[in-house]
Amino acid sequence: MQKIFLSSKIHRATITSKNLEYEGSITIDSALMRAAGIEEGELVQVVNVNNGNRFETYAIKGEENSGIISLNGAAARLGEVGDTVIIMAYAIFDVNEPHIPKIVFVDSQNRIKIN
């Protein structure tokens, strides 16, 4: 049997910008995407810790090491600059297959925390 499991997440990132006029998506610092294993165009779920909004969109690579987390298009209405978000990606795994998610913790500037 196969089920959908969490494959990766960027935990407690801060929204740095929003662009209502963009066609849609979330722009994420490409270093964070690489660390989490999120591909450009991949479906992600975004949870806004500040207001409880949850939505799905697709990831767009932002400038490497810029710290950018930008809500674009309609998603820009679901958060404010400074809000904390959790960005999650999922994958289909066989229930007997190991599926340990990659979790990327970031600081208030969206830099990867080294544990």
Return the active site residues: 25, 58
Place of tokens 């490497």: 64
Instruction: Give yes or no for a contact between 86 and 10, defined as CB atoms under 8 angstroms apart.
Output: yes
Amino acid at 113: K
**Sequence-ordered list of residues with C-beta below 8 angstroms from that of 33, at least 6 positions apart, any chain:** 39, 40, 59, 61
Instruction: Give the pair of three-digit tokens for residue 23.
Output: 């066609």
